């Protein structure tokens, strides 16, 4: 179910026009990195799972004004796909992109997947 959760969230974001991946090596900035934080099998059928996923919205580190613009656009695109309400500011270090911290936002979404 972990693979399915990652794939479902990534595909939904991509269909909504968001550059989204779950493998950091494939991330193109500005874009969204999908990470599953929790899987809860709370149903009796054992095929339905409640998912908590973190979406890391990451800018290119091109200066405060452009980064803010990129993050605003990513947040609007994410909100058009998932009901994300709260976005925390964050910095991300992705070795294959830059030795410097990349500016970003982090939000959490909840969804249910099953057969």
pLDDT in tens, 49-75: 999 999 999 999 889 999 999 999 999
Q: Can you tell me the mean pLDDT for 27-50?
A: 90
Q: What is the mean pLDDT of residues 38-46?
A: 85
Helix (H) or strand (E) holding 109: strand 102-113
Q: What is the pLDDT of residue 100?
A: 82
- State residue 9's pLDDT score: 96
* pLDDT at residue 115 greater than cutoff 80: no
Tokens of 21: 């991946």
Q: Which helix (H) or strand (E) holds 55?
A: strand 49-58
CA distance 68 to 38: 29
CB 58 within 8 A of CB 35: no
* Pairing of β 88-92 and β 102-113: antiparallel
Distance CA 86, CA 62 (A): 24
Is residue 19 within 8 A of residue 31, CB to CB? The reply is yes
pLDDT over 80 (residue 113): yes
Confidence (pLDDT) at 96: 72
pLDDT at residue 98 above 80?
no
Give the lowest-confidence range in 1-5, 63-67, 104-108: 1-5
Please tell me the distance from the alpha carbon of residue 84 to that of residue 45, in angstroms, as a whole number. Answer: 28
43 has pLDDT over 90:
no
């Amino acid at each position: 179910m972990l693979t399915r959760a990652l794939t479902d969230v990534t595909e939904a974001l991509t269909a909504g026009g968001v550059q989204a991946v779950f493998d950091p090596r494939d991330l193109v900035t500005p874009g969204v990195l999908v990470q599953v934080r929790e899987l809860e099998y709370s149903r009796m059928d054992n095929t339905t799972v409640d998912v908590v996923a973190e979406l890391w919205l990451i800018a290119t580190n091109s200066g405060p004004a452009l980064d803010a613009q990129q993050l605003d656009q990513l947040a609007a695109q994410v909100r058009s796909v998932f009901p994300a309400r709260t976005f925390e500011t964050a910095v991300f270090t992705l070795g294959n992109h830059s030795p410097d911290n990349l500016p970003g936002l982090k939000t959490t979404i909840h969804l249910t997947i099953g057969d």
